[in-house]
């Protein structure tokens, strides 16, 4: 059984490679000439005809809608489409509804873990869709990742992803504010880390990904804030969280503020830097 993979960029190419390494025959497609000589590139039409499982890893919801508009009518009814891109919840629901009209299953399965996770096969998949379809795709998630969680029906994977990343964006800013305050109070960063990482302020942004250099486990702060997880991608996810919050009238004041802070940070030199570089940005203010 052949597998299709549409979108062979920074994330898609290493994910596709891991499926090939595990012995699967894979047909790929990308609109751009990509650096993936080891992956057979083909047309959407051929992928739709020959593959009963088709993954996608695309930039955003508009591209996903366009690709699926072309893809869905060409697929046969047993096909399962698995979109691993991070997109707005509404686009995930839209493509799921369109596919249903053609009796095709769609799973939304955005990931956490970044390019390193994609290369090492250690991604986490947050999945929305029907349980039967999930059960069929789970072995492929196990090849490309270390964990997959079925979060609910269509769109639930995207909902989980933006909720998680809204927490992360807010917590990283909070941690950066605290470390910047500590420095101004002449409090040593390593001592602060020792306290916070084992106290009630502990969180992933401190314990695993500390924004202060030479403190805690190695992180982008130790590599001049080269990403890691780029601030631009954090901003994308925060904007998606705000779009979703507006759609359901959920109050997310801190999420809104975090979005504004990342927007300003990026326009003032943070583009291309890791999202933890808010710390040196605050220190300069
Ligand atoms: P990328 O820009 O490197 O890759 C996207 C690929 O899609 C590109 O190769 C592009 O040419 C291709 N593409 C665009 N339009 C297309 C079309 N119509 N048909 C086929 N291919 C098309 O981006 P990426 O970093 O691989 O991210 C992909 C997705 O994963 C995004 O939704 C992103 O938010 C999400 N994500 C990225 C990371 C990360 O660290 N890079 C982490 C988690 C999630």
Average pLDDT score, the chain: 96
Same domain, 253 and 166: yes
Same domain, 83 and 167: no
- Return the best residue to mutate from 4, 16, 28, 30 for the ligand 1 pocket (most ligand atoms within 8 A of CB): 30
Ligand 1 centre to CA of 187 (Å) is: 41
- Closest CA to ligand 1's atom 17: 31
Percent of the chain with pLDDT over 70: 100
Do 56 and 6 touch, CB atoms closer than 8 A?
A: yes
Same domain, 78 and 137: yes
Ligand 1 centre to CA of 84 (Å) is: 9
| pLDDT given at position 40 | 85
Please compute the mean of the pLDDT values over residues 31-56 and round it to a whole number: 91
Which is nearest to 205 in space by CA: 154, 167, 237? 167
| pLDDT given at position 84 | 98
| pLDDT given at position 1 | 84
The number of C-alpha atoms within 13 Å of 274 and in the hemisphere containing its C-beta is 24
- 6-37 pLDDT, tens digit each: 999 999 999 999 999 999 999 999 999 877 77
101 contact partners, CB below 8 Å, separation of at least 6: none
pLDDT band at 192 (very low <50, low <70, confident <90, very high): very high
Q: Is the CB of 63 under 6 A from ligand 1?
A: yes
Q: Is the CB of 56 under 6 A from ligand 1?
A: no
Please compute the mean of the pLDDT values over residues 54-78 and round it to a whole number: 97
Domain ranges, residue 10: 2-153
Of 153, 185, 212, which residue sits at a domain end? 153
| pLDDT given at position 271 | 96
Same domain, 174 and 143: no
Residue 194 pLDDT > 80, yes or no?
yes
- 110-152 pLDDT, tens digit each: 999 988 899 999 999 999 999 999 999 999 999 999 999 999 9
Same domain, 164 and 140: no
Please compute the mean of the pLDDT values over residues 51-56 and round it to a whole number: 98
Same domain, 83 and 173: no
Percent of the chain with pLDDT over 90: 94
- 202-244 pLDDT, tens digit each: 999 999 999 999 999 999 999 999 999 999 999 999 999 999 9
Same domain, 137 and 197: no
Same domain, 79 and 130: yes
Beta bridge partners of 27: 4, 40
Which single residue is written with the structure tokens 């893809």?
Answer: 71
Same domain, 108 and 204: no
Do 30 and 6 touch, CB atoms closer than 8 A?
A: yes
| pLDDT given at position 38 | 80
Residue 167 pLDDT > 80, yes or no?
yes
Of 106, 125, 153, which residue sits at a domain end? 153
Specify the CATH number for the domain of residue 12: 3.40.50.720
Same domain, 98 and 182: no
How many other CB atoms are there within 10 angstroms of residue 174's CB atom? Answer: 17
How many domains does the chain fold into? 2
Same domain, 61 and 147: yes
**Residue 161 annotated in active site:** yes
Of 131, 153, 175, which residue sits at a domain end? 153
Specify the CATH number for the domain of residue 254: 1.10.1040.10
Atom of ligand 1 at shortest range from CA of 11: 26
Ligand 1 centre to CA of 83 (Å) is: 11
Do 11 and 115 touch, CB atoms closer than 8 A?
A: yes
Beta bridge partners of 150: 127
Please compute the mean of the pLDDT values over residues 176-182 and round it to a whole number: 98
Atom of ligand 1 at shortest range from CA of 87: 32
Q: Is the CB of 117 under 6 A from ligand 1?
A: no
Same domain, 163 and 257: yes
| pLDDT given at position 225 | 98
Ligand 1 centre to CA of 12 (Å) is: 7
| pLDDT given at position 33 | 81
- Closest CA to ligand 1's atom 30: 85
| pLDDT given at position 34 | 75
């Amino acid at each position: 059984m052949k597998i299709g993979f549409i979108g062979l960029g920074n994330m898609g190419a290493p994910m596709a490679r891991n499926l090939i390494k595990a012995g699967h025959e894979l047909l790929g497609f990308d609109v751009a000439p990509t650096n993936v000589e080891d992956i057979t590139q083909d047309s959407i039409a051929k992928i739709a005809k020959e593959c009963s499982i088709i993954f996608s890893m695309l930039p955003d919801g508009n591209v996903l809608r366009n690709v699926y508009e072309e893809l869905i009518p060409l697929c046969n009814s047993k096909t399962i489409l698995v979109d691993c891109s991070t997109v707005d919840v509404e686009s995930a629901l839209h493509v799921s509804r369109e596919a249903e009209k053609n009796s095709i299953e769609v799973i939304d399965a955005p990931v956490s873990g970044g390019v390193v996770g994609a290369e090492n096969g250690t991604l986490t998949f947050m999945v929305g869709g029907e349980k039967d379809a999930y059960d069929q795709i789970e072995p492929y998630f196990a090849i490309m990742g270390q964990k997959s969680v079925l979060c609910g029906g269509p769109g639930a994977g995207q909902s989980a992803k933006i909720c998680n990343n809204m927490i992360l964006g807010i917590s990283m800013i909070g941690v950066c504010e605290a470390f910047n305050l500590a420095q101004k109070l002449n409090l040593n960063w390593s001592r602060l880390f020792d306290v916070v990482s084992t106290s009630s302020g502990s969180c992933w942004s401190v314990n695993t990904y500390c924004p202060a250099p030479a403190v805690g486990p190695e992180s982008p702060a130790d590599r001049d804030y080269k990403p890691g997880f780029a601030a631009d991608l954090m901003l994308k996810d925060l904007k998606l969280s705000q779009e979703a919050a507006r759609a359901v009238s959920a109050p997310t004041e801190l999420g809104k503020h975090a979005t504004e802070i990342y927007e300003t940070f990026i326009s003032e030199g943070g583009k291309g830097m890791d999202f933890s570089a808010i710390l040196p940005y605050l220190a300069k203010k």
